[in-house]
Structure 1
Amino acid sequence: MTATASAPLLRTPGLVDAHIHPDKSSWTLPWLSRDPAGTLSELIENDRAVQAGYAVSVEERAHALLSRALAHGTLAMRAHVDVSSELGTANVEGVRAAAERLPDLTVQIVAFPQFGLLTNPGTLDAMAAALESGADLVGGIDPGGLEGDLHGHLDAVFGLADRAGRDIDIHLHDGGEDGLAQIREIARRTIAGGRQGRVTIGHAFALGDAMLPSLGATLDLVAEAGVWITTCALGADPIPDLDRLERHGVRVALGSDGVRDSWTPFGTGSMLDRAHLLAYRTDARTDAELERAFRIATVHGGELLGRPEIADWTSESETRLEFAAESLAQLVVDRPAPQRVLVGGREVAAR
């Protein structure tokens, strides 16, 4: 931390959005009214309809959101982008084109089978094609609750990742003991395939239920497998106990999930806002607890995405953010926009 004549200047590492869906966003478009939905399947069907109705391209909508994120200090993100038999690889190509217009922002793309992998014939082939069209990782979604075939789904996801030499990032909304069983199976396959540190589970709502008898054993296996957990602190979604995850050695990163899309009217494109929400949802009060929320949104994300200039950041780093704030704790509470965003010592602006 350094000082200016007018206000304290706080230097920080860059922010990382470890779980976002830029191809779904309506950012900068007229207000989008959302249909009610009570189940995951209904949300997915609403999303399918909304995406089909967009008159503005994926590239332009994604570029608008990515530009906003960069201007607010996000220097790296993992984008989950829809791939299906109907969409083919178009959304992946649109997000990749948007990312290439912003060279100061690292964007990892996950080929994401939102509309089903086994249940939507042709999607597995489209996923393979997406890995040749701009996607970096293989995604998956609720092998049990949505696909109804835990082992078949994971065989397809891990098999594709093995053939292509890619990492894995799986959405898992299923809760209860069934959700924990799916998490353990993913961890076992990670260990068996020598993929420690190369598999992520997004949401992992089952980890947020402290009353589940197998939670402790599940966390131990997740830690042994080096499986990352990403949480988004959205709405009423369950959030794991951060203290408990730390005790078990489970690594956590933070994402914004949907931003102004068919799923939610919320989201600002600022990961500092998301760190604030994580702190609020986990009842952070002390400076140490508030600082942890910021660390999860920065350093942890840098570790997950392999960005050493974020993961190993020091106050002398040329890649940094600068805020008018007294401390990280105040920063998380007040959520100001950065005064400067620097990459390699050069001030950058979204273009």
Structure 2
Amino acid sequence: MPPSSAALIRDVRPWGGPAVDLTVADGVITAVSPTQPYAEGSADPAGSPETVVQGRGRLALPTFTDAHCHLDSNRVGLPFRPHTGGPGVWTMMLNDRANWRDAEVGITERVSDLLGREIAHGVTTVRSFAQVDVDAGLERLEAVLAARETHKDRATVQVVAFPQAGLLREEGSPQVLEDALRAGADVVGGIDPCTLDRDPVRHLDIVFGLAEKFGVPVDIHLHEPGELGLFSVDLIVERTLALGMQGNVLISHGYALFDDPTRVDGLLASLAEADIAMATIAPGGKSRVPVDRLTEAGVRVGLGQDGQRDYWSPYGNGDMLDRTWQLAFTMGHRADELIEHAVAVATRGGASIVEPQLPRLGAVSDRPGLAVGDVADLLLVEGETVTSAVMDRPSDRTVLRAGRVVADQLELV
């Protein structure tokens, strides 16, 4: 958390409601009161705080949480290059491995630049994967850890040691994963225990064994289709309950898990029982994660941007408001309540994954994050309504971390 001081944030509309002034002390909202006009230079109605931020009638929202990103896998801001990847996770991984070192600027600079762009657009909480394997070693992890240090007063960054190449296909992979946890990673990752490593028991033994050894959460990429994916979920649920890790496990992507409507209720019940969270990147096509049903079932769910304009995909730009539009669009949402729920998922939904002490979204109608007692991590953004801001993605934004301005008009302060 950055150093903080008293602040008054004047004339903002929390979640599009009536205009209020927010009083902040020690980084926390201490009062919410109707906006009181006063002449410049006259006595401040809040008692002369050290900082006054002019909201100018803009919307006030909780800042975004990028709950699933690969900061070490990006070419944002670099010259565009043709996509060269092939089908399947292994083929795409090999394409990335062949190219990531040859970018126009080094990995450390790329990672720090993208994190800065995300913050400037409204993100103050991030869960980033860092690829660790026998090829990269800890080089990519070290770049993410360096970026976290660079921006430590602007954002919370949780780092996942991620075995993108699997754990069983290349000798020495489990040791690199353990080395990454010793080097400062906060979460242990896994990936497709059936389709990539083709031995789910050994794969999950390693992942959950390291989680238990180091006392860290688990985040597993699951791209596996249909019945195979559901089988992997069953194994993950079983281990989560057996080890008492409820609230410390997340399944990322979950493509095709929800394709069979006859299985959805049982899957939701299993995830809720084990308190296993989910993160989606709002993919196109039919591979949709039903964020509304997850929320109503009591399952924590967040939104992320994945890799961005990298060797896997040309998509992504560092703007979580843009990705929130994508979530609403791919879900087919038109009603304001549902589009606002997409914003809630992209903000406090993901934050409750990275910071489990925060209350989870309990209903589609929940609009948390702007009450007395909440940390003043705020995005002030132009818009008639929350829905209009999602549709327009305006550039008039001010980002506050613990009541302190860290970015304005898409530029870091």
Q: Same fold (TM over 0.5)?
A: yes
- Asked if structure 2 preserves the Cα contact closer than 8 Å seen for 1:15 and 1:297, the reply is yes
* Greater helix fraction, Structure 1 or Structure 2: 1
- Asked if structure 1 preserves the Cα contact closer than 8 Å seen for 2:268 and 2:294, the reply is yes
Name the counterpart of 2:388: 330
Name the counterpart of 2:164: 114
1:195-234 equivalence runs, <5 A: 195-211=245-261, 213-234=262-283
Q: 1:278–1:143: structure 2 CA closer, same or farther, 3 Å change rule?
A: same
Secondary structure, counterpart of 2:67 in structure 1: strand
Name the counterpart of 1:314: 370
- Structure 1, 122-131 or 237-246: larger mean CA deviation: 237-246
Secondary structure, counterpart of 1:273 in structure 2: helix
* 1:126 Cα offset (Å): 0.8
- Structure 1, 261-270 or 39-48: larger mean CA deviation: 39-48
* 1:218 Cα offset (Å): 2.1
- Aligned residue type for 1:346: R
Per-residue deviation, residues 54-103 of structure 1 (Å, max 9, x unmatched): 35222100011001000001001100110011211111111110121112
Q: Does 1:279 align with 2:279?
A: no
Name the counterpart of 1:183: 233
Name the counterpart of 1:75: 124
- Asked if structure 2 preserves the Cα contact closer than 8 Å seen for 1:302 and 1:308, the reply is no
* C-alpha separation in 1, matches of 2:225 and 2:87: 16
Name the counterpart of 1:288: 337
* 1:310 Cα offset (Å): 9.5
* 1:237 Cα offset (Å): 6.3
* C-alpha separation in 2, matches of 1:233 and 1:173: 14
* 1:163 Cα offset (Å): 0.6
Name the counterpart of 2:180: 130
* 1:309 Cα offset (Å): 7.9
Q: 1:60–1:36: structure 2 CA closer, same or farther, 3 Å change rule?
A: closer
Per-residue deviation, residues 283-313 of structure 1 (Å, max 9, x unmatched): 1111110011000000111111117689762
* 1:343 Cα offset (Å): 1.5
- Structure 1, 229-238 or 18-27: larger mean CA deviation: 229-238
* 1:326 Cα offset (Å): 2.0
* C-alpha separation in 2, matches of 1:308 and 1:256: 23
- Aligned residue type for 2:391: V
* 1:340 Cα offset (Å): 0.9
Per-residue deviation, residues 140-175 of structure 1 (Å, max 9, x unmatched): 010001110011100010001111111100000001
Secondary structure, counterpart of 1:294 in structure 2: helix
Per-residue deviation, residues 124-146 of structure 1 (Å, max 9, x unmatched): 11111111222110000100011
- Structure 1, 34-43 or 254-263: larger mean CA deviation: 34-43
Question: Which of the numbers 319, 338, 350 marks the counterpart of 1:270?
Answer: 319
- Aligned residue type for 1:113: P
Q: Percent identity, please.
A: 39
* 1:258 Cα offset (Å): 1.2
Q: 1:135–1:161: structure 2 CA closer, same or farther, 3 Å change rule?
A: same
- Asked if structure 2 preserves the Cα contact closer than 8 Å seen for 1:321 and 1:338, the reply is no
* C-alpha separation in 1, matches of 2:268 and 2:306: 23
- Asked if structure 1 preserves the Cα contact closer than 8 Å seen for 2:122 and 2:397, the reply is no
- Aligned residue type for 2:369: W
- Asked if structure 2 preserves the Cα contact closer than 8 Å seen for 1:325 and 1:331, the reply is yes
- Asked if structure 2 preserves the Cα contact closer than 8 Å seen for 1:187 and 1:225, the reply is yes
- Asked if structure 1 preserves the Cα contact closer than 8 Å seen for 2:217 and 2:249, the reply is yes
Q: 1:170–1:159: structure 2 CA closer, same or farther, 3 Å change rule?
A: same
- Asked if structure 1 preserves the Cα contact closer than 8 Å seen for 2:90 and 2:165, the reply is no
CA RMSD of aligned residues (A): 2.1
* C-alpha separation in 2, matches of 1:286 and 1:112: 37
- Asked if structure 1 preserves the Cα contact closer than 8 Å seen for 2:300 and 2:352, the reply is no
- Asked if structure 2 preserves the Cα contact closer than 8 Å seen for 1:14 and 1:310, the reply is no
Q: 1:309–1:69: structure 2 CA closer, same or farther, 3 Å change rule?
A: farther
* C-alpha separation in 1, matches of 2:356 and 2:275: 18
- Structure 1, 21-30 or 136-145: larger mean CA deviation: 21-30
1:292-303 equivalence runs, <5 A: 292-303=341-352
Q: 1:308–1:167: structure 2 CA closer, same or farther, 3 Å change rule?
A: closer
Name the counterpart of 1:48: 97
Secondary structure, counterpart of 1:264 in structure 2: coil
Question: Which of the numbers 89, 112, 115 marks the counterpart of 1:63?
Answer: 112
- The number of residue pairs the alignment matches comes to 350
**Gaps spanning 5+ residues in structure 1: where?**
none
**Gaps spanning 5+ residues in structure 2: where?**
1-12, 14-18, 21-34, 38-54, 361-367
Q: Does 1:239 align with 2:288?
A: yes
- Structure 1, 252-261 or 306-315: larger mean CA deviation: 306-315
* 1:228 Cα offset (Å): 0.4
* C-alpha separation in 1, matches of 2:166 and 2:101: 17
* 1:259 Cα offset (Å): 0.6
Name the counterpart of 2:304: 255
What TM-score results when the alignment is normalised by the length of structure 1?
0.94
- Structure 1, 38-47 or 80-89: larger mean CA deviation: 38-47
Name the counterpart of 1:105: 155
- Aligned residue type for 1:266: Y
* C-alpha separation in 1, matches of 2:219 and 2:350: 14
- Structure 1, 312-321 or 324-333: larger mean CA deviation: 312-321
* C-alpha separation in 2, matches of 1:342 and 1:241: 30
- Asked if structure 2 preserves the Cα contact closer than 8 Å seen for 1:184 and 1:222, the reply is no
Q: Does 1:158 align with 2:208?
A: yes
